[in-house]
Amino acid sequence: MLKNLLGYLSKFVTPARLALFEKVLNERTNYITVVLEDIFQPQNASAVLRSCDCFGIQNVHVIENRNEFSVNKEVSLGSSKWLSIQKYNKEEHNSLKAIKKLKKDGYRIIATTPHANDQTLHEFDVEKGKAALVFGSELPGVSEVIMSGADEFLKIPMYGFTESFNISVSAALVLYEISNRLRELDSEIWKLSENEKDEIKLEWIRATVKQSQLLEERFYTEMTKGQD
């Protein structure tokens, strides 16, 4: 059914746009995912989303404890439209729920911190398995819940007086390094499956085609008539 629906809705998208979708999907990954915990500055949140899109990270997990996540469209340049964003904001301990789900899905939790004994970005083992990179709020950093549940800790080497990078800069530096090393691995390790590509492509088409919901309703109506 998914293939049939894709074929139907694809008729309303230009060949050039479909080719671009295929090109981008071929570089997307779920092997690495990004987790944003309690980010309160829209500019920073939006810049991180933009970096995720640029470096091929498809899934972003957003934890809202005290702060509501919001996007600055001038900074994100529409990048959120092409990402799969899951929010955790329904419970008292949203951070705990997020890391439990990610671990269940096979991710190791990597807390980004400036602590002295953490592994550096250059030491990070990409081949070890799927990784969820957690970036914390602008001032306090990742919460104690994340620190307690983390499997590993990661820092970016710094040589000046300032103790930490801005979160959007940190995310960009980490994703640049890791995404480059990721692409040196066997593509079967990090690339999306064909079914994952189809599911994401469907969401992108829905976001692109005007009145896509009405077109889907027409598709299912025609399918039902064909089965009578």
Q: Which residues are annotated as a binding site for S-adenosyl-L-methionine?
A: 112, 156
Q: How far apart are CA 179 and CA 45, in angstroms?
A: 19
Q: How far apart are CA 157 and CA 61, in angstroms?
A: 25
Q: How far apart are CA 91 and CA 20, in angstroms?
A: 38
Which secondary-structure segment (H or E) carries 134?
Answer: strand 131-135
What tokens appear for 70 in the block?
Answer: 């919001």
**Main-chain phi, psi angles of 208, to 5 degrees:** -100, -40
Which residues does the annotation place in the binding site?
A: 112, 156
Provide the 10 A C-beta neighbour count for residue 221: 10
CB of 166 within 8 A of CB of 44?
A: yes
Strands (E), 2-114: 32-37, 59-63, 84-88, 108-112
Contacts of 19 (CB under 8 A, 6+ apart): none
Sign of CA dihedral 204, 209, 212, 218: negative
What tokens appear for 111 in the block?
Answer: 């807390």
Q: Residue written as tokens 């479909």?
A: 18
